[in-house]
Amino acid sequence: ANVLLACGASPVMAHADNEVEEMVDHAQALVLNIGTLTDTWVTTMIKAGRRASELGKPIILDPVGAGATQLRTNAVKAILAQTWVSVIRGNASEILSLAGTETSAGGVDATNTVSEAVDAAAVLARELGTTLAITGESDLVTDGRRSLRIDGGHGLMPLVTGTGCSATALIGAFHAVDKDPVIAAATALAFFGIAGETAGNRAAGPGSFMVHLLDALYSLAPEEVESRC
């Protein structure tokens, strides 16, 4: 939420079953994140996703830890089966697990590289009719026909909890404005990567990096993003 506020978006974090449909009515995009998960929350996410699908609003899914447990893998499959997800943003291991590729994932951290997921991602994107945004040392965005690589970021980013989830949320904000999911996702990741690089150059460690990241997101101008892309 702080990342979205810093870059000018207006987030609402909601998971109550009796309000999510109404909240979706107000929103320009819906981000579904399975980072904290119960069966009830999965049902509520699907309810919100169905409403967003009815209204034609973009849905961005973060399959946190998919492949690590059956609950998480099944939750993602259920969401994809019952809603129309525009963008899935995950690390390489999470994306490979959705493609049915066996990984050694034991938690939310990637054990595979983005390069290992390139071919499977293109096939999976076409099968699901969605755009995949795979983040790592170098990011990949593909819809199975168009593919873009995004370099940037900083080595401190994986040491701060929530940077991946923040990247997903940023894609939601950008996709609310740009209806092309590939361009929206790639632009959001480029924006986030430049901010991360700026923050990393100023930070002494993970703690100060968090503060500098918010400041960098707040002060980063569109012109600088354009000049560096």
Kindly write down the DSSP assignment for every residue of 113-146, as one continuous string: -HHHHHHHHHHHHHHHTSEEEEESSEEEEE-SS-
**213 vs 109, residue with greater confidence:** 213
Name the average pLDDT for the chain. 92
**208 vs 137, residue with greater confidence:** 208
pTM: 0.93
- 105 close to 67: Cβ distance less than 8 angstroms: yes
- Sign of the C-alpha dihedral, residues 174, 92, 229, 223? positive
Mean pLDDT of 65-73: 91
Going by pLDDT thresholds of 50, 70 and 90, the confidence category of residue 58 is very high
In angstroms, the Cα distances linking 217 to 7, 198, 212, 228 are 5, 9, 9, 15
* Strand-pair partners of 69: 66
Q: What is the pLDDT of residue 116?
A: 84
Q: What is the pLDDT of residue 212?
A: 97
- 109 close to 89: Cβ distance less than 8 angstroms: no
The string of DSSP codes covering 10-72 is -------TTTHHHHHHH-S-EEEE-SS--HHHHHHHHHHHHHHHHHT--EEEE-TTBTTBHHH
Q: Output DSSP code: residue 84.
A: -
**166 vs 67, residue with greater confidence:** 166
Q: Per residue in 95-145, pLDDT tens?
A: 988 988 665 554 555 557 788 888 889 999 999 999 999 999 899 999 999
Q: Per residue in 22-44, pLDDT tens?
A: 999 999 999 999 999 999 999 99
